[in-house]
Amino acid sequence: MEANLTQEVQPKVSFVIPAYNAEKYLDRCLQSILGQTYQPWEIICVDDGSTDSTGNLLEEYASCDHRFRIIHQKNGGLVYARKVGVAKATGDYVSYVDADDEISLTRCEELLPEMRRGADIIFTDFVQVYGDGYQQKQNSGLTEGFYDRLSIEKKVLLNLIDEKYVFRQLVRNSLCGCLFKTKFIQMCQMKVDNSISIGEGCAAMVTCLLAAQSLSVAHKGAYYYYKNNDSMCHQVNRGAELLCQRQSSMALIKHLQGGARRLPLEFKEKVERQMNILAYNNILLHDYELFGEMGGETIFPYGVPMTAKIVLYGAGSLGVQLYRFISTHGGHIVLWSDRSYKKHRDAGLNVDPPEKIGEVEYDYILMGIGQYELAVGARDELLSAYGKELSSKIKLLNSDVMTSECLAMALEKMKAENDENVIK
């Protein structure tokens, strides 16, 4: 039942900020919290083994404001850093903020009525900011209002993701776009395996949704998520990180499937399907190779022959993964294109503008863009520029081939790799 609103209640917000080598972005992030129009709050920063000046910058802020608490530790990864930070929270609500992001100055003030309602989770607005300055406003995908446990089961857990369009999330799974009751998130965060680096936000959010007794959705209080070139370069230069990625993929699949097994029988099967798609959603972006070979002589999950002449459109997470796999497995990419080609060239990628598509001979254009709305928008731009007859050549992800059997095969593959590494 919805709690009574009392004007006297002034909930305290604990901002938990994991930071690793974030010296370039910290000021922007911290100033957006210091400038909040609402009090009271505290900031808990976890310096997760930074080798740049991150630790010193945090100490400078702490020396000027008693509301800062700084924790320095050896690098343990994002999940562990969040666990350490949230365990120290003393506020009524926790708001995670990544060190390279920022929040609107009125975020807490706008969300005060929602905090007074006392929901376990508060979904807020979310703005994705790209390297070229383009901003895309998103909401949680849920209708604004208050949800009890029954509503969470029927309206949220059964509609986590659009099964037809694999990367269209109907419920956004980023922790940073939410506020959580402190004791609630402390309990849920501890259930996430520290080894999950791929899809850690998804793993934690699913845990929260399975446990929540109440949820509030408010299309306000914006969180600004920045996609920066540093993370992109990290994806391109993979090297010895493959083993860690595989361990993370395995842990994520097991975590998601384990949660579905504990659901009521009446909708267990559908939620299991949702969990499987969420696993694909996260792993394809960072460990595409795990599934790539399942396409056989075609490119997974597009169904396009590997021998075809390919224009790859998109140079974000999925595009980079596809380019690497196709190029090293006998495929023929005649052009790699993206609207933000200048930014990607600065990151060391050989990406050309979309205008080049008209200058090359090709069989198909693969939309290597992980976010459905952006992929469809880019497709429509191409159709407008080159004509509707191009539609048969443009291929988006095909969810029909992303089966639970493929996930089972992926798990077996990872177990075999793990056993081989143990023997070595």
Please report where in the chains the tokens 């419920």 appear, as a residue: 171
Report the candidate in 340, 334, 388, 343 with the shortest Cα–Cα distance to residue 365. Answer: 334
Q: Which of 229, 189, 207 is nearest to 87 (CA)?
A: 189
Average pLDDT over residues 386-397: 91
Q: Do 21 and 151 belong together in one domain? A: yes
Structural domain contains residue 248: no
Residue 113 · residue 38 · CB < 8 Å: no
Cis peptide before 113, with omega less than 30 degrees from 0?
Answer: no
Spatial distance between the Cα atoms of 193 and 206, rounded to a whole number of angstroms: 13
Contact 162, 170 (CB under 8 A): yes
| Residue 4 CB burial class (10 angstroms; 0-12, 13-18, ≥19) | exposed
Residue 230 is predicted with a pLDDT of 52
Instruction: Report pLDDT digits (tens) over 110-134.
Output: 999 999 999 999 999 889 887 767 7
Tell me whether residue 412 is in a domain: no
Same domain, 216 and 308: no
Q: Is residue 25 included in any domain, yes or no? A: yes
Domain region containing 320: 294-400
pTM: 0.83
Instruction: Quote the DSSP letter at residue 241.
Output: G
Q: Is residue 287 part of a domain?
A: no
Query: Can you name the residues that pair with 215 across neighbouring β-strands?
Result: 121, 147
Read off the pLDDT of each residue in 253-270 and give the average, rounded to a whole number. Answer: 77
Residue 288 lies in a domain: no
- The pLDDT value recorded for residue 401 is 79
List of residues 6+ apart from 354 with CB closer than 8 A:
313, 337, 338, 339, 381, 382, 385
Give the pLDDT score at 243.
66
Q: Which of 32-36, 79-83, 191-195, 247-251 has the lowest mean pLDDT?
A: 247-251
Task: Name the band, by pLDDT with cuts 50, 70 and 90, for residue 189.
Answer: very high
Looking at the structure, tell me whether residues 311 and 224 fall in a common domain: no
Cis bond upstream, residue 301 (ω within 30): yes
What is the CATH number for 204?
3.90.550.10
d(CA 190, CA 188): 5
36 SS3 class: coil
Distance of alpha carbon 78 from alpha carbon 189, whole angstroms: 11
Please provide residue 178's backbone torsions phi and psi, each rounded to the nearest 5 degrees: -130, 165
Residue 260 lies in a domain: no
Same domain, 69 and 197: yes
CA geometry: angle 203, 207, 213, nearest 5 deg: 150
User: How many domains are there within the chain?
Assistant: 2
